[in-house]
Amino acid sequence: MKSLIVKNNEAKEGIMGYEKNKPNKYFNVALEKLFFDSTISYPYDADNNATIAKVYPYSNENIADVYAGMDLRGKRVLTVGSSGDQLFEFVCKGCRAVVLIDANILSQPFIELKIAAIKNLSMFEFMDYLTKENIFKHRYYWKVCNDLSPKSREFWDNAMLEYEPKIRETIVNNMVHNNFAINDRKFVNYLKSMTVYETLRNNLSSCKINFINSAFNDFDKKSRGKYDLIVLSNISDYIETNNFFSTVDSLGKSRLNDGGKMQVYYAFLEIPRYTGGFVDSLKESFGIQCGNVSGMEKKSINALRDRSLVGDNVKATTILLDKEFFDTYTFVGTKEYQLEN
């Protein structure tokens, strides 16, 4: 099996689009792990600011509802890479540029495969292809692979060379989370209508898309420029609270355009009653202390989730903060926001 993996020094210019002197070390390390470990653990590799973790094949957040009504035409967005579904939602809405940032190095080859599939397949072919059973179907892969970047092409070419069903299964199981099923696609507009899918395909050619590999703590340092929308999904569930808020604070202050918003949190529950206003709900959910603040948006959305995932219908809540919030408040220490001076 090992011999199937093209090492950096074997990569030749011209063959399958490899670029000389552009090492693909991490993708190859990742692929080796997917091949050989029956259960991969996800150590964070501080030296490389990266981790190898399972990718979400589709978003489990109700992004269609969260961003409904938000005008993103011509805007610039920074979002966690995740499954790429956040990207697709924003591209449908006519964004000028989207920067995908994620610590998981598998996020890029997976999202690139989805982008290439959207460019080259009909909506029904896409839904047939992006399944556990068919992701190794060569007839689809040959239709889409020319739209992969050289390093993602190398990653997938090597994976596609594997014919042994058991190993293929290991790769898929190691690479993607379980919500790889038809009813986990209900939160995205581009798979609800062929018209939206076509809009997405057309817009993909004009939207500038970049990938940044970074751990959350470095998001501010690594994400160049300013954005109209920053999307952090439920990343706070994965991060120690203090680190989370200090990075959110610096992102909010230095990376948001005037009028911009940050999606700070997605909770898979209804954050208890907003009776005391949004600030109270922030208090309750994050344990932070702050006074009254205006100009913030709250949204409690009805995200009907799969019974098998959560047992019952639950509400979900997302928190969007305006740039104004960050201009007014500063994170000063553990669990505390204070008015600046």
Ligand X SMILES: C[S@@+](CC[C@H](N)C(=O)[O-])C[C@H]1O[C@@H](n2cnc3c(N)ncnc32)[C@H](O)[C@@H]1O
Residue 124 within binding range of ligand X, rule CB under 6 A: no
| Shortest Å, Cβ 77 to ligand X | 14
Nearer to ligand X, 140 or 219 (CB): 219
| Residues 228-247 as x/- pattern, contact with ligand X by CB under 6 A | -----xxx--xx--------
Residue 256 within binding range of ligand X, rule CB under 6 A: no
| Residues 7-46 as x/- pattern, contact with ligand X by CB under 6 A | ----------------------------------------
Compute the distance between CA of residue 207 and CA of residue 90 in angstroms, rounded to an integer: 10
Complete DSSP assignment for 74-87: T-EEEEE-TTSHHH
Please state, as a whole number, how many other Cβ atoms lie within 10 Å of the Cβ of residue 336.
14
- Which of 316, 330, 328 has the alpha carbon at shortest distance from 64? 316
Residue 215 within binding range of ligand X, rule CB under 6 A: yes
Nearer to ligand X, 30 or 80 (CB): 80
| Shortest Å, Cβ 124 to ligand X | 23
Which residue's entry shows tokens 């986990």? 184
Cα 165 vs. chain centroid, distance in angstroms? 29
Nearer to ligand X, 44 or 124 (CB): 44
State which of residues 64, 75, 81, 256 lies at the interface with ligand X (CB under 6 A): 81
Take residue 212 and report the two structure tokens written for it.
């940044």
**Phi, psi (degrees; rounded to nearest 5) at 225:** 80, -170
Which residue's entry shows tokens 């220490």? 333
| Shortest Å, Cβ 270 to ligand X | 17
Nearer to ligand X, 53 or 159 (CB): 53
| Shortest Å, Cβ 79 to ligand X | 9
| Shortest Å, Cβ 73 to ligand X | 23
Whether 4 contacts 161, CB under 8 Å = yes
State which of residues 80, 99, 171, 207 lies at the interface with ligand X (CB under 6 A): 80
State which of residues 27, 95, 102, 108 lies at the interface with ligand X (CB under 6 A): 102
- Which burial class, exposed, middle or buried, applies to 106 when counting CB atoms under 10 A from its CB (0-12, 13-18, 19+)? buried
Residue 59 within binding range of ligand X, rule CB under 6 A: yes
Amino acid at 33: K
The piece of 30-38, 56-64, 253-261, 292-300 that touches ligand X (CB under 6 A) is 56-64
Residue partners of 72: CB distance under 8 A and separation at least 6: 90, 93, 94, 95, 228, 229
The piece of 17-25, 71-79, 102-110, 308-316 that touches ligand X (CB under 6 A) is 102-110
State which of residues 28, 82, 170, 281 lies at the interface with ligand X (CB under 6 A): 82
| Shortest Å, Cβ 161 to ligand X | 26
State which of residues 83, 263, 281, 317 lies at the interface with ligand X (CB under 6 A): 83
Residue partners of 17: CB distance under 8 A and separation at least 6: 150, 153
Task: Sort residue 102 into left (φ over 0), alpha (ψ -120 to 50) or beta.
Answer: beta
**Phi, psi (degrees; rounded to nearest 5) at 109:** -60, -35
Residue partners of 39: CB distance under 8 A and separation at least 6: 174
Size of the site for ligand X (CB under 6 A): 20
Residue 60 within binding range of ligand X, rule CB under 6 A: yes
Strands 329-333, 336-339: pairing is: antiparallel
Q: Which residues bind ligand X (CB under 6 A)?
A: 53, 56, 59-61, 80-83, 102-104, 107, 215-216, 233-235, 238-239
